[in-house]
Amino acid sequence: MPDRAHQLISDILERVHAAIVENDVTYEEYERAKQWFIDVGAAGEWPLFGDVFIEHVVEEQAFKDRDGSQGTILGPFHLPDAPHLDAPYELPHRPDEPGDMTVVTGRVTDADGTPLAGANLDVWQCDASGAYSSFMPGPPEGNLRGQVRTDDEGRYEFRTVVPGPYTIPLDGPTGLMTAAAGWSPWRPAHIHLIVGAEGHEDLVTQLFIGSSDYLESDVASAVKPELLVHPKPSETEPGLLAFSYDFALAPARSPATA
């Protein structure tokens, strides 16, 4: 689609040029920016930069008219092949995993509220200290990643640990840019999910812990009020927290062909 490419590339560059003119950008600043581009690439932080500062607008634009539950950004830390777990579901974790254990329950339905049996929830999160397995030192491979299914009534239930807030790397180029701009580098505590069922559009979303710091200042601008959850002491399982969340999936946009 050359017209589309021409339109987008021209528009983005014109806006950069206008910002240079309006702010009277100097050669020193241009050279600093060039070195920063190089540094972001060398640090492997382009996915982080994109998902923190750009993805939220793409998500809001792409799904503004979609039926069903709210989604939010995917982020850079999803791994596609997390294990399909068996009931009773519990995300894999260390024997001495720090943090509060919680039960997460709810229903997956279509946009009209009809329960979806055999729906899949691909769940991933950081640990209580903000570390994602496979991306940060600390947790072992596969920690706090797994896939869960709904039962015949569309219900799901799994156990996990309440995640902590997360900060982007402070000493990398994305963190240095964030500090230079005077912004907080933190994301509030959240659990990522991709909820999927046959004939329905995948819902990429996050559930935000309602008691977390940084809900009002998420560096990735991904919090939506509909996505807050409030873990409370479980009424049936002493020592555990519990919360509930129901997901409604929009119909697939086009019929499957393969």
Binding site for ligand MBD (CB under 6 A): 48, 51-52, 73, 75-77, 166, 168, 187, 220, 222
Residue 93 interacts, among Fe ion, ligand MBD, none and using kind-specific CB cut-offs from 5 to 8 Å, with none
- Cβ distance to ligand MBD smaller for residue 19 or 62: 62
Q: Nearest-CB residue to Fe ion?
A: 75
DSSP letter (8 states) at residue 81:
T
Candidates 9-17, 48-56, 73-81, 90-98 — which segment interacts with Fe ion by CB under 5 A?
Answer: 73-81
Rounded least distance, CB 76 to ligand MBD, Å = 6
Q: Is 75 in the site for Fe ion (CB under 5 A)?
A: yes
Rounded least distance, CB 81 to ligand MBD, Å = 19
Q: With the C-alpha atoms ordered 122, 109, 86, 240, is the resulting torsion angle positive or negative?
A: positive
Q: Nearest-CB residue to ligand MBD?
A: 75
d(CA 95, CA 104): 19
Rounded least distance, CB 128 to ligand MBD, Å = 14
d(CA 233, CA 224): 24
Q: Is 106 in the site for Fe ion (CB under 5 A)?
A: no
d(CA 108, CA 59): 21
- Cβ distance to Fe ion smaller for residue 75 or 154: 75
What angle, 0 to 180 degrees and rounded to 10, lies between the N-to-C axes of helices 173-181 and 27-42?
140
Residue 89 interacts, among Fe ion, ligand MBD, none and using kind-specific CB cut-offs from 5 to 8 Å, with none
d(CA 213, CA 230): 13
Q: What is the DSSP string of 167-232?
A: E--TTSHHHHHHHHHT---EE--EEEEEEE-TTB--EEEEEEETT-TTTTS-TT----GGGEE--E
- Cβ distance to ligand MBD smaller for residue 52 or 242: 52
- Cβ distance to Fe ion smaller for residue 75 or 196: 75
